[in-house]
Amino acid sequence: MSEIISSVVAHYNYWIYIALMMIGLYAVIGKKNLIKKIIGVNIFQTAIILFYVSIGAKKGATIPIIHHGPGGGHHETTASVIEASQYMNPLPHVLMLTAIVVAVATLGVALALAIKVYNQYGTLEEDEILSRIRVR
């Protein structure tokens, strides 16, 4: 029993991202409103971002900005040797930094498409749109 608990505690970041991802996936599949689907896609995206950022964490490490001395020049470090274990993994941060901005931009495109659909069919409900397409 204690093994299971310790395993859950050691992996709880994955559990959170899976829960968020399931919420997003359900919104995409189960909801009929296009705006709710877009929100679902965004929750899904947030889950992936959380997954990546949690991978970059290291125990006892600080943010990946090399500390430089107060007296010295801007570009000289106080410690001559930089230990990789002192700083978090910068790579997931980089990937997600761009992904967040791209997510906002693609959200704009999704909303623009939703506006076009609304102008064309007068509704954002998926089943009503399908019935109106069949009538024509």
Which residues here bind other proteins, judged by CB under 8 A? Answer: 7, 9-15, 18-19, 21-22, 25-26, 29-30, 54-61, 63-68, 74-75, 77, 82-85, 87, 89-94, 97-98, 100-102, 104-106, 108-109, 111-113, 115-116, 119
CB of 7 vs other proteins, minimal distance in Å = 7
Picking from 90, 91, 86, the residue whose alpha carbon sits closest to that of residue 67 is: 86
Residues 6 or more apart in contact with residue 90 via CB below 8 angstroms: 56, 64
Instruction: Round to whole Å and give the CA distance between 43 and 95.
Output: 18
CB 69, CB 38: distance < 8 Å: no
- Only one residue has tokens 């693609």, namely 106
CB of 86 to other proteins, least distance (A): 8
Return the amino acid letter for 62.
Answer: T
